[in-house]
Amino acid sequence: MSLDLDALLLRIWPESQQADREGLVSRGSVLAAGDKLRRLQTRIAPGERLELREPFGESPVLPSLAAGVRGGRVLVPGLPWRSGTLARRRGMTSAVRFERLDERDGVQLLEVTPAEGEAEASAFFEDVLRSLAESGRPVLGDVLRGGILIAGGLRLVAGDASLAWPGEPVFAGASGEAPVLHVSRATERIVGRGHPWILHDDESDDASRFAPGTRVQVEGPDGASLGVAHCDGPGQLTARMWAGPAQSGGSDSVEARVAEALGRRSALLEPGSRRARTDVFRLLHGEGDRLPGLFVDRLGPLLRVLVTSEGALGYRDRALDALVRGLEGSLGGDPGVIEVVHLRERPPGDLVCTRVLRGALPDAPGSTASEAGASTRLVVQEAGVQFLVDPGLSRPTRASPGFGLYPDQRDNRARLLAGVRKGGRLLNLFAHTGAFSVSWLAGQGATAVSVDLSGAYLRWLEENLARNGIDPIVHQSVRSDGRRYLETLDRSERFDAIVIDPPTAAAAGRRFWSVARDLPPLIASALAHLQPGGRLLVSRNDRKRAALRELVAEAAKLKGVRLAALESAPPGIDFPRRKGFPEGDPFTGVLATRA
């Protein structure tokens, strides 16, 4: 439902006369999408952003708090987190704790309270307005901080008093019309090449007038249809493509895409096969499975949903329903589901990112309590080898999506074993929780050395060894930086296999690790410690990953090491690639064999 500009200006400036409002327009002081508006009768769509070039109006009158009442309630554009604390900023009297109470048409009712102690009323409500605005979700009616202008003004009350929900659409597209998102020529070229992300630029429409998850028609500057996308919420990444202009019909449904994803993984899901001894793998891989921003992993009896796009929240439940139906034979009809919200852009503070979404957590045999105060960890298996994983509920405000095992390296663990003599020796740098080491020793490897800076990860590794009945005498844990370990290693030391699977960047004592700077010399050093016929596996997950093969070849030449083979070592079938979208690949891997 659109409104004329005069009605909107009257909401902002209720004491004004029509002559006052006409003066604003005649002086070019009201803009929409950067263009000056010249008529009070101009129609403004829901969610369209207005800019006023003349200062007027005062801060909204804030409610007071009755004695003994702490906090209040607000209406805001939807937050992807159900609860949490927005960090205290300079000039604020208190951090703001919030909890979602209700949600309608992209608008949420939040209960807000001071995070520490009592707060003086007016100061606290100023903190609420400021913290939500700085988080990209200004309170409805808070026009001085970019809030959406609605009838009835500021939606903020003290205590548990009721709040009136908007009686009109808050966002464009909310009333059923087919909204259009116009994009720039540059974006048209990028999307036309198959890249699924639409990034903000000054020549494209402001996508913030659409609620996250809104399905929009995408058009280029000349009106050519580019397809359909889902809006992604505030931030640089504004929308993700769902379908191109030629795609339509049932194949574009969420359910059809989940069925396609399960079909790609039939080798992992078939009962009776060797791979049936694996119950930890990726079931949905975001853009690679045409479900942008939505990832689902199986962790034994659990499903773990990773949401990296606010737009994915709109089809998450449909995808899960289809997935559970497709896996009913192996998981039952109501498996426990854990959700992790992991967004590229998030406000500072302690946000509850991990929670039980549906079902119950299993009380499975073999589950084990982790370190003091933590929740239950699970035992999963890969090719019959058991690993402990932590779904993340022990630290729900931790934003990191890891759970202690990288299923994307499953095929590389098998590749490493397949090409090396029985009874060989492994060096595992950046060992994490030791999956390469445990698989090696549970297979045909005789001994292994695991190097990592984290004592907690090395203890986890040793628990994995014990879980598989591996004698600790055949394994050595070294708490060290991988570079330092190789530097101090005797020149005569040789290994049958070496793994280098580093982070992009990390603190390493006084020596910060940078994959761009430190990986080339580390590869060269590792090659010098390979036995003839030995294999080096290197992974890289930064922007220069495409050059990894050349990097390994150059390192071998530098060290005078002759290579018998240099082959790709990609992720498994459950991490499908999308052409022209390297951001969707978890890593690039290379496997080098020394002559």
Counting every residue, how long is the chain?
595
Q: Of 296, 307, 242, 244, nearest to 265 (Cα)?
A: 296
| Terminal alpha carbon distance of the chain | 72
Report yes or no: 261 and 325 within 8 Å, Cβ to Cβ. Answer: no
pLDDT of 417 reads 87
pLDDT of 549 reads 92
Instruction: Tell me the three state secondary structure of residue 593.
Output: strand
Across the range 178-205, mean pLDDT stands at 92
pLDDT of 249 reads 45
CA 81 to CA 347: how far, in whole Å? 11
119 vs 275, more confident: 119
pTM of the model: 0.90
Tell me: pLDDT of 374 over 60. no
DSSP string of 449-493? EEEES-HHHHHHHHHHHHHTT--GGGEEEEES-HHHHHHHS-TT-
506 vs 232, more confident: 232
Tell me: pLDDT of 234 over 90. no
The model's confidence at residue 366, banded by pLDDT at 50, 70 and 90, is very low
Tell me: pLDDT of 46 over 80. no
The model's confidence at residue 371, banded by pLDDT at 50, 70 and 90, is very low
The model's confidence at residue 275, banded by pLDDT at 50, 70 and 90, is low
Tens digit of pLDDT for each residue in 10-33?
Answer: 887 777 888 888 888 888 888 887
The model's confidence at residue 60, banded by pLDDT at 50, 70 and 90, is low
Tens digit of pLDDT for each residue in 484-511?
Answer: 899 899 999 999 999 999 887 666 666 6
Across the range 524-542, mean pLDDT stands at 93
Tell me: pLDDT of 287 over 90. yes
Tell me: pLDDT of 552 over 50. yes
pLDDT of 51 reads 82
Q: Please, which residues have CB within 8 angstroms of residue 401's CB and are 6 or more apart in sequence?
A: 306, 340, 342, 392
CA 507 to CA 495: how far, in whole Å? 27
Across the range 159-186, mean pLDDT stands at 85
The number of C-alpha atoms within 13 Å of 332 and in the hemisphere containing its C-beta is 11
Tell me: pLDDT of 176 over 70. no
Tell me: pLDDT of 193 over 50. yes
Tell me: pLDDT of 248 over 60. no
Mean pLDDT of the chain: 87
Residue 22 CB: number of other CB atoms within 10 A?
15
Tens digit of pLDDT for each residue in 135-152?
Answer: 989 999 988 888 888 888
pLDDT of 90 reads 85
Per the structure block, which two tokens stand in for 70? 């702490």
Tell me: pLDDT of 227 over 90. yes
The model's confidence at residue 566, banded by pLDDT at 50, 70 and 90, is very high
Per the structure block, which two tokens stand in for 246? 């030629």
pLDDT of 20 reads 86
CA 250 to CA 91: how far, in whole Å? 53
Tell me: pLDDT of 531 over 80. yes
527 vs 580, more confident: 527
The model's confidence at residue 373, banded by pLDDT at 50, 70 and 90, is very low
Tens digit of pLDDT for each residue in 71-118?
Answer: 899 999 999 999 999 998 888 888 999 999 999 988 999 999 988 766
395: which DSSP letter? S
Strands 530-540 and 588-594: antiparallel
Spell 339-375 as b/e; 16+ CB within 10 A means b.
Answer: bbbbbeebbebbbebbbebbbebeeeeebeebeeeee
Which of 30-34, 297-301, 385-389 shows the lowest per-residue confidence on average (mean pLDDT)? 30-34
Spell 235-256 as b/e; 16+ CB within 10 A means b.
Answer: bebbbbbbbbeeeeeeeeebbe
Across the range 374-401, mean pLDDT stands at 87
pLDDT of 58 reads 59
pLDDT of 159 reads 86
Residue 143 CB: number of other CB atoms within 10 A?
20
Instruction: Give the highest mean pLDDT range of 64-68, 263-267, 516-520, 543-547.
Output: 263-267
Tell me: pLDDT of 524 over 90. yes
DSSP string of 193-219? TT--EEE--TTS--GGGSPTT-EEEEE
Report yes or no: 576 and 285 within 8 Å, Cβ to Cβ. Answer: yes
Across the range 392-398, mean pLDDT stands at 89
124 vs 309, more confident: 309
Q: Please, which residues have CB within 8 angstroms of residue 17's CB and are 6 or more apart in sequence?
A: none
CA 173 to CA 156: how far, in whole Å? 25
Spell 489-501 as b/e; 16+ CB within 10 A means b.
Answer: beeeebbbbbbbb
Tens digit of pLDDT for each residue in 453-479?
Answer: 999 999 999 999 999 999 999 999 999
Tens digit of pLDDT for each residue in 423-454?
Answer: 899 999 999 999 999 999 998 789 999 999 99
Report yes or no: 220 and 226 within 8 Å, Cβ to Cβ. Answer: yes
Spell 159-179 as b/e; 16+ CB within 10 A means b.
Answer: eeeebebbeebbbbbbeeeeb
pLDDT of 174 reads 65
Task: Please state, for a pLDDT cut of 70, what percent of the chain lies above it.
Answer: 89
Across the range 320-334, mean pLDDT stands at 91
Return contacts of 35-44, CB within 8 angstroms, 24+ apart.
Answer: 37/5, 39/5, 40/4, 40/5, 40/6, 40/9, 41/4, 41/5, 41/6, 42/4, 42/5, 43/2, 43/3, 43/4, 43/5, 44/2, 44/3, 44/4, 44/5, 44/8
Which domains occur in the chain, in start order? Answer: 3-52 (3.10.290.10), 72-158 (3.30.2350.10), 180-250 (2.30.130.10), 253-389 (3.30.750.80), 407-594 (3.40.50.150)
